[in-house]
Amino acid sequence: MERLITQDNLKKLIESETGKHTRVVAPVRSEKGRFYRVISNADEMDLDNAGAPPERSLKEFFFPKTEILLSYKYTQDGVKMDSPQDPLPTLILGARPCDARALLLLDKVFGWDYDDDLYRKRREGTTLLSLYCQSEEEDCFCEMLGSSREDRSGSDLFLFPVKEGFVVEAVTEKGTQLMESHAGLFQDVGSAVRPKASQEQARVVSDMDALTSWLAGAFEEKAWANLGIRCLGCGACAHVCPACHCFDIVDEPDHVKAGKRRRNWDSCQIPLFTLHASGHNPRSLQSQRYRQRILHKFSYFPERFDAILCTGCGRCSRACPADQNLLAALEDLWSLAQQSK
C-alpha cells in the first residue's frame, strides 16, 4: 500500500495518536542538539533528514539506559516482588533507516537464548515510521554494509519527503493498520516525485564478507595496538551506538527491607567491564578492549547471528572525544586483509 499524506494531515495524525495515551517519539532540535524525544504535539518534531542522524539512537526507547527489573520488599510473610508495569503503546516518527534496522539486530540478542519480556513488550507495542535519509555525512557508511537510504528493514511505514508532503509506503501489517485507522488523512500519490540521493557514500571496504572472514583469524594481529591507541575507554561510542547492548544488573537497596534490581547500560570499552573479583582483568589494555569492540561487531556477531552488529550510522566516530574513526579503522584492517592474500 502506498499513499500520500500532507504536512498538515501528518500533524493531525500525530495529534490524534497523542490523544490516545500513546507515547509519540520524534526527532526534536534544541540548543543542545538533535535528539529523539517524546513529544506532546506535532510542532515539536523536526523531520529534516539532510544532516547527521539524531545524536543518540532509538535504542533507549526499547532498551533503556537504566530500568527496574523488579522491586522487592521483606514482609512478615516473606519477600514480596513486583514487576514493572507494561509499557505504553508507542509511535515513532521520523526514524533514520539505520536506527530502524538496528532494532532487528537487538531482536536477535534479546530474543535469542532467553526471551527478554520487557524488550519484547516494547517492540510489540511500537509502530515505527522511518524517513528516507538525505544525509551526506562523511562518517556514514550504511551502503558499505549492504543497506541504503531507503532501507525498510525494521520499519512499519516508510516515508519519502516530497513537495506535497510525504509518500507513505506500508511495510508491515502493523503499518497498514495505522494507515487504515486514519484513512481520511491519506490520498492518492498522484504525480509526487520521490527524492534521489545526490551522491553515493564512500566504500573503503569493497567486500565486507571477506573482511569478516579475515577478522576471524586476526586476534593476534600486531595492528590492534596502534588501532586502539587513541581510545580513552570512555564508552561514548557504545552509548550512542544503535546496536551495542552490553549491560550489567545490580541490586540497589532503598533501605534495610526493600530495594530494586536494575539493569544499566555498560560497555566493553570500560576497564571495569571485565575486571574479575580476584583483581585479574583479561583485557587489561585499552587496545585489547578496542579489539573486542571491532571483533564483536564484525566477527563474533556475524558468526553467531549471520549479521554485522553495525548499521554504519557513524555516531561513534562523531561522538568520540579522541576522534577515533570507525570507518578509518575498517579501512586499515581491510588493507591488512588485502596484504595477507
Question: Among 150, 185, 220, where does a domain finish?
Answer: 185
Q: Is residue 202 part of a domain?
A: no
Q: How sure is the predictor about 200, in pLDDT bands with cuts at 50, 70 and 90?
A: confident
- For residue 196, pLDDT beyond 80: no
pTM score? 0.94
pLDDT of amino acid 197: 67
Q: Is residue 199 part of a domain?
A: no
Rounded average pLDDT over 75-92:
91
- For residue 152, pLDDT beyond 70: yes
Q: Is residue 195 part of a domain?
A: no
Residue entry with cell 583479561: 282
pLDDT of amino acid 31: 87
One domain for residues 74 and 110: yes
Q: How many structural domains compose the chain?
A: 2
Q: Give per-residue pLDDT as tens, 232-242.
A: 999 999 999 99
Kindly write down the DSSP assignment for every residue of 256-290, as one continuous string: TTEEEEEEEE--TTSGGGG--TTS--TT-SHHHHH
Residue entry with cell 555516531: 315
Q: Is residue 43 part of a domain?
A: yes
Find out whether 95 and 61 touch, Cβ atoms under 8 Å: no
One domain for residues 71 and 212: no
One domain for residues 49 and 107: yes
Range of the domain at 313: 208-339
- For residue 135, pLDDT beyond 90: no
The end-to-end CA distance of the chain, in Å, is 48
One domain for residues 175 and 214: no
Residue entry with cell 557513524: 314
Q: Is residue 326 part of a domain?
A: yes
Find out whether 24 and 41 touch, Cβ atoms under 8 Å: no
One domain for residues 85 and 226: no
Q: Give per-residue pLDDT as tens, 268-325.
A: 999 999 999 999 999 999 999 999 999 999 999 999 999 999 999 999 999 999 999 9
One domain for residues 216 and 322: yes
Cα–Cα distance, 86 to 122 (Å, whole number)? 8
